[in-house]
Structure 1
Amino acid sequence: MIVLLGFGGTTQAIAKQFAPCAIFDDKFLYKQTDELGNILMPTNMLVSFLSENKNIQVITSPGIPPQNQMIQDTIKILGKNNLLSEYDFFAKDMPPSIWISGTNGKTTTTQMLHHLLSHRGIECGGNIGTPLANLSKNAPMWILETSSFTLHYTNIARPNLYILLPLSEDHISWHGDYESYVDSKLKVLLHMREKEIAIIPKNLQNHKYCKESLACLIFYENSTDLAESFYINLQDIPFKEPFLLDSILALCASKALFSEANYKLLSEFKIGQHKIEEFFDNKNRLWVDDSKGTNVDATIQALKRYKDKEILLILGGDDKGANLDYLFAELKMLNVKIYAIGSNAEKLKLLSDESSITCTMCKELKIAIKEINKIHSTTSVALLSPAAASLDQFSSYKQRGELFKKYALETT
């Protein structure tokens, strides 16, 4: 029997396809059976179940951190090799694959590449929303957006092409520290074979996993450097940073695999919602929804885009333990006013005071927009780029972005 830890989208898809499974999750208060025959149990029953059923496979939901008691108990009873990621579980059935990871831009890069290659029957999934269980094993190739959580637990599966966008501090509370986060992003290089390709930021080239890898590693410093390496014509790309790097990486993958760079098809790609999404109110004032800017680096990239304007910045949420000093070093060089929301609002106010940056304590998004509305003009930009996750106050970054737009347009 397959054992599933956590009952999110990944494990729900596995349970549906491979029922009956034993599923452990905090949301289950007592032992029960669903309509497919899956056994649903509270987490406090895991130890006794594993002790009595040792010849089993255990697959964890990627979001469960390594310090979680279920993870610790599984490793203690069955050993580390019997704890599988979703990728490891499907490793034997996985067609040739491209994995795309990084701190920011992996969703856009994945979507762009799929846009370029979907006519070949190539399927797309992973962290982007479609579990591997729902992808066709007969597809010629998979494109997988891959999180650091999944990579941490993956020890068998490997990509044929690995694309890594630049890294900055993210998910520190999950990984424990930045070094462990980087290790998770690069560990896959140890599984890759000769002639398989990995495109990696140049500042990571001295990492131990890069030195030990058998794969063909191609290092890049920035968008221009990468474009030159793959003979990409920047003038034919319609996107500006931060989406320029995403588009170049997508073209690089297409060239590496199929020796083609379809600039016309790329130009037809539409950037998704909540990523530096601009809109104007009836007073012709610019508002920008960058709710997907959930870490420091993403917010810095958004700020650079508007560095010549007065920026009215909504900042805050669950910062996941990230060091915000780097962000405030950038903010000090801009004409910016901060409107702090979320669980780290007081922390933001303290850092703002230390940096001599005007900060209004709002706590809630709706209050922040009311305060911004008092001074917003056609020469400023109101930017939601929180450098933090949304779950302290919202169901998702999507809900946060939708409410931002709703409240902004209601104020005019």
Structure 2
Amino acid sequence: MNFVEELAGKNCLVVGAGVTGRAVQKALISFGAISKMFDENKNNEQDVINEISEQIELAIVSPGWHPDHKALVKLRENGTKLMSEIDFAWKIKQVLAPNQKWIALSGTNGKTTTIKMVESIFDAASINGKACGNVGETVIEAVCEGEPLDYLALELSSFQIEWSNLAKYESIALLNISEDHIDWHGSYDKYIKAKLKLADHTKLVIANKADPELSNRLKDSSIIWYSLGTPAPGEMGIVENLLIDRAFSGSAASAHEVAELADISPSVPHNVSNALAASALALSIGISHEFIKEGLKKFTPDHHRMELVLEKDEIKWIDDSK
């Protein structure tokens, strides 16, 4: 039996009743699982622990739940298999959409803007795909909807990466790393390692050369670096007012224009960096420079995400309060 068939009649538990948990619960029930869910917000900790049955065979854990939480410790003691929502979606994908390919990105800042740039490029290239994860639909919803999509572009948090061990990606992009979620991870070093774990689950790594943590810790010669500087062979970068591809252009001596800075709105440095990452992800799955340029040109940030609110006296005023 495949994984979906095995879910029929299986005693399952969804840990966390937020957006992700509810989507996982809906999927489990649709596959015939006997599934319950709980969330600490609705019960005190002891009530949650007391609810856990030794009969539970599989628990799908929503992001944000710490692996050392008492409820999860008890599940392990009971012999229950724990699985992240990303790995659960991957296992379902392997059955429902075996030819579907995943790309992903993560970073402390710029994730949502960049993944939506990728989705805009998908639209321009008529790619049967969408962005999901921390933006739009959950991954399990995107996997289960209607006719299978050819590509999913995942925005992933450090929590999701920490919990995930099964999902495999065609390519991933790491945008930047700065201190965040230290209370959950325990230290800055552990937070960095959680982000970098994504590089162990992909065919190709794309990374921001200007980020000190990434440039110091990532040493594989196959990495595609991007920056706002002039690109060396095998890199993406900027020459005058152009985004230039020297990574996917066919030979070390060749270079291709991806887009003009004027195609990116707003064309502030960190948003241009986002555009380079999105372009590299798109190029990694064979999308042409022409469609990337079109997708970047059509892309408009969400309200309060690098939104141009005023341009006066050659000064641009940007709302990035999100």
2:132 is matched by which residue type in structure 1? G
Q: Which residue in the other structure is 1:256 paired with?
A: 284
**Could you say if the C-alpha distance between residues 224 and 175 of structure 1 is closer, same or farther in structure 2, counting changes exceeding 3 Å?**
farther
The offset of 1:264, in angstroms, is 3.0
**Could you say if the C-alpha distance between residues 224 and 58 of structure 1 is closer, same or farther in structure 2, counting changes exceeding 3 Å?**
farther
**Could you say if the C-alpha distance between residues 98 and 4 of structure 1 is closer, same or farther in structure 2, counting changes exceeding 3 Å?**
same
1:126 is matched by which residue type in structure 2? G
Alignment check: 8 A CA contact 1:223 1:248 kept? no
Alignment check: 8 A CA contact 2:49 2:70 kept? no
The offset of 1:267, in angstroms, is 0.9
Q: Is 1:28–2:28 an aligned residue pair?
A: no
Matches within 5 A, 1:373-412: none
**Could you say if the C-alpha distance between residues 189 and 291 of structure 1 is closer, same or farther in structure 2, counting changes exceeding 3 Å?**
same
The offset of 1:111, in angstroms, is 0.5
Matches within 5 A, 1:1-400: 1-19=11-29, 20-29=34-43, 43-50=45-52, 52-54=54-56, 56-78=57-79, 82-94=81-93, 95-118=100-123, 119-137=126-144, 138-192=148-202, 196-202=203-209, 203=212, 204-205=214-215, 207=217, 210=218, 216-222=222-228, 224-225=230-231, 226-227=236-237, 228=244, 229-230=246-247, 231=255, 233=257, 236-238=260-262, 239=264, 240=267, 241-261=269-289, 262=291, 263-279=293-309, 288-292=318-322
**Could you say if the C-alpha distance between residues 267 and 191 of structure 1 is closer, same or farther in structure 2, counting changes exceeding 3 Å?**
closer
The CA RMSD measured in Å over matched residues stands at 2.8
Between the aligned residues of both structures, percent identity stands at 28
User: Any idea what SS the aligned residue of 2:104 has?
Assistant: strand
User: Any idea what SS the aligned residue of 1:99 has?
Assistant: strand
**Could you say if the C-alpha distance between residues 223 and 121 of structure 1 is closer, same or farther in structure 2, counting changes exceeding 3 Å?**
farther
The offset of 1:200, in angstroms, is 2.0
1:131 is matched by which residue type in structure 2? T
Separation in 1, partners of 2:47, 2:207: 42
Deviations 1:235-293 (CA, angstroms, capped at 9, x unpaired)? 6132322110111111122222115123133211111111233436xxxx99753223x
**Could you say if the C-alpha distance between residues 252 and 46 of structure 1 is closer, same or farther in structure 2, counting changes exceeding 3 Å?**
same
Deviations 1:150-188 (CA, angstroms, capped at 9, x unpaired)? 001001112111111011111112212111111111112
Alignment check: 8 A CA contact 1:113 1:251 kept? yes
1:252 is matched by which residue type in structure 2? A
Structure exhibiting the larger radius of gyration computed from Cα positions: 1
Separation in 1, partners of 2:140, 2:258: 37
Alignment check: 8 A CA contact 1:5 1:70 kept? no
Separation in 2, partners of 1:254, 1:286: 29
**Could you say if the C-alpha distance between residues 173 and 140 of structure 1 is closer, same or farther in structure 2, counting changes exceeding 3 Å?**
same
Separation in 1, partners of 2:121, 2:201: 27
The offset of 1:51, in angstroms, is 5.2
Alignment check: 8 A CA contact 1:232 1:248 kept? no
Q: Which has the higher contact order (CA 8 A, sep 6+)?
A: 2
Give unpaired runs (5+ residues) of structure 2: 1-10, 94-99, 238-243, 248-254
The offset of 1:144, in angstroms, is 0.8
Q: Which residue in the other structure is 2:6 paired with?
A: none
TM-score (norm 2): 0.73
Alignment check: 8 A CA contact 2:40 2:48 kept? no
Give unpaired runs (5+ residues) of structure 1: 30-41, 293-412
Alignment check: 8 A CA contact 1:104 1:166 kept? yes
1:108 is matched by which residue type in structure 2? T
1:170 is matched by which residue type in structure 2? D
Separation in 2, partners of 1:286, 1:245: 18
Separation in 2, partners of 1:57, 1:74: 9
Alignment check: 8 A CA contact 2:39 2:48 kept? no
1:78 is matched by which residue type in structure 2? G
Separation in 2, partners of 1:276, 1:91: 32
Alignment check: 8 A CA contact 1:24 1:43 kept? no
Separation in 1, partners of 2:181, 2:53: 32
User: Any idea what SS the aligned residue of 1:279 has?
Assistant: strand
Alignment check: 8 A CA contact 2:104 2:154 kept? yes
2:121 is matched by which residue type in structure 1? L
Query: What count of residue pairs does the alignment treat as equivalent?
Result: 267
Deviations 1:280-314 (CA, angstroms, capped at 9, x unpaired)? 6xxxx99753223xxxxxxxxxxxxxxxxxxxxxx
**Could you say if the C-alpha distance between residues 199 and 22 of structure 1 is closer, same or farther in structure 2, counting changes exceeding 3 Å?**
same
User: Any idea what SS the aligned residue of 1:170 has?
Assistant: coil
TM-score (norm 1): 0.58
